[in-house]
Structure 1
Amino acid sequence: MRADRLVAALLFLQSTRRRVTAAELAAELGVSERTARRDLEALAAAGIPVYSQAGQGGGWSLVGGARTDLTGLTAPEIRALFLLTGPDADARPETRTALRKLVRALPAPLRADAEAAAGAGTVDGADWTGTEPEEARLAALQRAVVDRRELRIGYARPGRAPRERTVQPLGIATKSGIRYLLADTADGLRVFRVGRVTSVAETGAAAVRPEGFDLTTAWRALAARMKDRLVAATVRGRAAPDTGSVLEGVLGGRVRYGERTPDGWTAFEADGPSPEVIAARLAGLGARVELLDPPSARAALARTGAELTALYGAPGTPAAAPRAPGRAATPPG
C-alpha cells in the first residue's frame, strides 16, 4: 500500500541523517526509482519538510535534519518489544529486517538500549535429542493462517504413526513455550501441537473461517477443556524421603504434599487424566512411591509389576525392599 510506503520512506529519511538519492530509497523500499521519486514528491506536497538538491552530491533530505517520531514508543515499551522479538530473529530473516528498520526509526538515545535488548537472548530450535526444529513447519502454518489457505497436515500423536488430516487453520497459540495450531476440522474445532506436525501442504482451496471467530476466546475455551481432562482424576499416596524432586519431574506441578509420617515418608495427592495414566507415570519410581487410593491405580501398578517380573525376573528372585527411611523433609527432596 502506498501509505505504508510513504511512512517507510519518511522513516528512512529521518534515520539516515544525510541526503539520499531516489535510487537508494528505491532499493530500500523494493520499488522502481521512478516510484521512489514520486513518493518523495508526495511527502513534500503533503507538507513534510522534505527538499531535494540537484547536482553531484545532491539528493533528498529533511529540512534541518527534522525528525518525526512515528513509533510513539516509550523506552520501556521498546525494551520489551526487542526482548520479545530479538531471540526469534536468529531463525526469522523477516524479523531481523523488521528489527533493523525499527532501530533506524528510533530516536538516537533509545537505539543503544534497543540493540542491547535484541541481543540479550537466543533461541535454539532443536531439542537435546537432535529432533528437527519446528520453525519451518510453524512458518508454513502461520502463512496459511494469514492467507486463509486450507491445509493437509501430517500429525503424529505419541506412540502412533503420523496421520494426515485436512484442516482449516485459524491461529497459533503459545502456552508455556509450546505452540499449538487451532484449526477447524470435520470433527469440529481441534488443537494440534506444532511440534507433532510432520508435514504441511496447501490443498489449493481457501480456508473457511467461522463467522465471528475470535482466536483468544476460542483458545481459552479449548484450554479450559484440555485442563479439565488433564486433571480429571486424583490419586493419593506416599513418597519416600528425597523423592520430591523426582516426583515433581514426573508429574509436574500437579502434586500436593501432606503430612510427614513417623517413618519419614510424606503423603501426597496428584492429579492426572486417569488413575491408570498417573500409575503408569509413577511406575518407574518403583518402591520409592506407594499409591494408596484409588484401587484402580494400585491395580494398574500391580499389573505393570507383574508384566515386568514376567519379562525380566528370574524364578525365586527376591523382591526389592523399600528404600530405608532417611532424613525427613516436607515436601520430600
Structure 2
Amino acid sequence: MRADRLMAILLLLQQREQVTATEVARELEISERTARRDLDALAMAGVPVYSMQGRGGGWRLVGGARTDLSGLTAPEARALFLVAGPASAATPTVKAALRKLVQALPEPFRAQAEAAASSLVRDSRQWGSSRVEHRPPPFLDELQDAVIRGVQVRLGYVDSRGAETGRTVHPLGIVAKGPSWYLVCGTEAGRRTFRVDRVSSVEPTGDPVHRPDGFDLADTWREIADEVDRRRTPVEAQALCVPGWIGNLRMAFGVRLEVGGAATDGRIEVVIRGHDEHTLAGELAGLAEWVDVTDPPGVRHHLAVIGTMLVERYRPPVFECDRY
C-alpha cells in the first residue's frame, strides 16, 4: 500500500536526516523510480522535504522536522503499523523502529495499530503451477479493515463450481500466498479459509469478532498450509539418504521433505511426500545413487520399472567384434 511506503520513507528521513532514492529503494525493496515518485508525493502533500542535487545530495527534512504521532488519525495509525507487520517488505531495522512507536500513539488508536501489525502474513510458496502476479483482488481492503477493526462481515462467495453463497464470518487475518490472497476466518462450522478473489461482496455487520484465545495468524496459517500440502501430496516414501545430500533433497522437495535421525550405517532417515506413487518414483529415479527408498513397495516397484526401461533404452549397442 502506498500510504505504508510514504510513512516508512518519512521515518527513514527522521532517522538518517538524509536519504537517496537508491537507499529508499533498497530499504523498501521497490524500484528507484517508485522511490523518487514517493519522495515527490511527500513534498506535494505538504511534508517539509527537499532534495539536494549533485554529489553527496539526497532528500532531507527541512530544519530536521519531525512528525507528530499524536496527530495521526486512526486509519493512518493502522497504515503505519502495517509496515511493521510480518508481511511488510521493510527491513528489520525499519520494522523495529516502527514497532517502538506504538507507545507514542494515543490510547484509542493503539489497539488497532497493534492489530494492523499482525493482520497480514506473506507466504512466498505457492500452490500449483506458476502464475503471473496480478493486482490485489476487489474487497481486499474491506476485508483487512474488518480484520483490524475486529468486526464480523456478511460475505458473498463464489465457489470453484461457480455457485454463489452468503454467510456471516469472523475475519481473523489475511494471507498473501504467492500471487493469491486468502481470508482466514471463523464460521459456525469452525475455522475456514476463503480465496479473496472469489469474494463477491463484503458487508460489515458491526458485531464484534470472536477471536480464539491465543490466536496467532502466522502459526494458524502454517497449520493450514501444512494440512493442504499433505492433502495434495498424500503418498509418503521412506528412504535413507547419504548425509551430504540432505541439502540437495531440501532444494528438490522443499516442504515435502521431512528429515529424521541417523540410521545404524550413518545414512539419514527421510520421508518424502508426493502426489502418487508413480510420479514420486519418477522424481526419485535420478537420485538412486544417494537415496535408497525402503518403503512403500509401490514406489519401489515403479523405481524398478523405470530402471529397467532406462537400461533397455540406453544400453550400449553390441557390435559383432565385441563378441570375440
- Give the TM interval when normalised to the shorter protein: 0.3 to 0.5
TM-score, normalised to structure 1, is: 0.39
TM-score, normalised to structure 2, is: 0.39
